[in-house]
Amino acid sequence: MSVTEPTIVDSRGQGNSFPRFGGRQGWGHGANRTVPPPLSSPEAEEEISRSRTHKAFVAALVTTIGLLIFSLFRPLEFLHAQPLTKIRVANIGGTFDHIQVAINGGVYRKYGFDVENIQVGSSATVVQALLAGEVSFAHVGAVPVVAAVASGSDLKIIAVMINRFNYVMVSVPELRRPQDLKGKTLAISRFGSGDEFVTREALRRWNIDPDKDVRFLQIGLTVARMAALQSRQVQASLLSPPQIVEAQRMGLNVIADLTDLDVDYAHYTLVTKGSLIVENRPFVERFFKAYVDGIRFYRSHPEAAMAYLRRFSKLNDAELRIVYDNVRKRIREEPIPSASGIRTIIKSLGGQKEKELDPRQVIDTSFFSSSVPR
């Protein structure tokens, strides 16, 4: 039995059968259009294949563009995902340790380092740890480094964070200016110490003869010197910037900031072995970049720095800000070592071996040619 196709009547009253797939017959005014072939035909399979290929291409393109956009907004550590390099640093940084502040802020991890920041109370011990290979880098004053190099050690200063005398001259209330120190008794920690040398250098620049115009009294550590000032056993002493607020609370005067003196002095430095630079320069350069970036982090993130300071002090936030601002102005954003800063250190040591030392033997400025992050 045959089955006839149903018919419809168009608006003109003409009958028209539903078309078979694959034919060119249509409905009404579209009677001449081409209709798709049956799904089982070769033509349909080819059309489906082309459609799937096109969709796959579009999906791949969208995914690629999405990943590219995503990567542009990811932090540096995502783009350079790698296992962190564990590293030990010996540090004399104290209460304003910018290395620890930068570690807490994730700066060193950004450069692929997991830093163990070892606080050491003695500069000599810091240098000994570096020479013994117990640490890869040391953050320390230049005095023991210069002395070690003069004795034949292979050390290089690759950055100098503070290149000025990092002290203030504090006095009893009636003294107002450096020239008032004539005829007075000044406290020092001990004879032959770094603070005695700095005191003498400052006095000379104030046209005061340290051998004739003042008297030195060996008192000891900072706390003892502050007590001697309060009891008027002495009339003046050098103190470090973190003691400024406490000294002012005691009614003492800050009569001079020695940072303002035009004297280069490598006070805080980043040091490593010369052999490590030769054997693994990329490693040293990467840490150097992190160190400089950490300095900039400290200078631009007062809240992070003050949070660290708060751990060691009972000062209120306003007082902490005073301490931070005093520290910040001393920290150089571009900590390039200078021969003049080492020359002042050599002068302070006074030994024959140090006098014969070329300051350029102590420093390596090559990492500043292209490595400082902008």
pLDDT of residue 38: 52
pLDDT of residue 173: 96
Calculate what percentage of the chain has a pLDDT beyond 90: 67
Q: Could you give the angle at which helices 302-310 and 317-328 cross, rounded to 10 degrees?
A: 120
Check residues 12 and 37 and name the one with the higher pLDDT.
Answer: 37
Residue 207 region by backbone torsions, left for phi larger than 0, else alpha for psi between -120 and 50, else beta: left
∠ CA 295-327-158, rounded to 5°: 40
- CA–CA distance, 273 with 149 (Å, rounded to integer): 11
- Domain 82-164+265-308+341-368 sits in CATH at 3.40.190.10
- Asked if the model's pLDDT at residue 279 lies above 60, the reply is yes
pLDDT of residue 289: 97
pLDDT, tens only, 331-342: 999 999 999 999
CA atoms within 13 A on the CB side of 126: 28
pLDDT of residue 193: 87
At 49, is the secondary structure helix, strand, or coil?
helix
Please list the residues that pair with 89 across neighbouring strands. Answer: 117, 137
Instruction: Give me the chain's average pLDDT, please.
Output: 84
Q: Is 364 exposed, middle or buried (0-12, 13-18, 19+ CB in 10 A)?
A: buried
Alpha-carbon separation of residue 190 from 67, 111, 126, 205, 226 (angstroms): 64, 42, 21, 22, 15
**Spatial CB neighbours of 335, under 8 Å, sequence gap ≥ 6:** 159, 160, 161, 163, 270, 292, 295
pTM over 0.85: no
pLDDT, tens only, 138-149: 999 999 999 999
Average pLDDT over residues 20-47: 45
Pick the CATH number of 168-260 from 3.40.630.10, 2.40.50.140, 3.20.20.150, 3.40.190.10: 3.40.190.10
pLDDT, tens only, 92-115: 877 779 999 999 999 999 999 999
What would you measure as the largest C-alpha separation in the chain, in angstroms?
137
Confidence of residue 79 (pLDDT cuts 50, 70, 90): very low
Q: How far is C-alpha 218 from the geometric centre of its chain's CA atoms?
A: 37
- CA–CA distance, 171 with 229 (Å, rounded to integer): 7
